[in-house]
Amino acid sequence: MNIKTLALVLLALPAMSAPAAAVPFCTGGTGATSDFNTSFGIRIGRYTEEERGELARQQLRQRGVDATRVEFWNGCLRAYVRQPGGGEAMEFYDPTTFRQVF
């Protein structure tokens, strides 16, 4: 191995060993997935993923998060949140505790 190859390998090592900290991962549930039965006959059966996302969006909004859309991703809630200066930012939340995941 020549010196140039060795130098390139040594330069590449830190990038290959860096953890994937930028990708959030949640171990909680996926929100409201259980059967929902009422004595009024309003709904029987499972929620669709879209309905679960809407329920999670409402839960986040009750907690002060101005989410416009929520979907399930990598075990987390991926929320699109309005920003004070305008626009939206993608934020991740635990589906069980609704705490933000960084």
Q: Where are the domains positioned within the chain?
A: 29-101
Q: Which residue has the tokens 């069980």?
A: 96
Beta bridge partners of 93: 77, 100
Mean pLDDT of 49-73: 96
Q: What is the DSSP letter of 78?
A: E
Record the pTM: 0.64
CATH classification code of 29-101: 3.10.450
The dihedral over CA atoms of 63, 67, 71, 75, expressed in degrees to the nearest 10, equals -40
Q: Which residue has the tokens 């930012």?
A: 89
Greater confidence (98 vs 30) lies with: 98
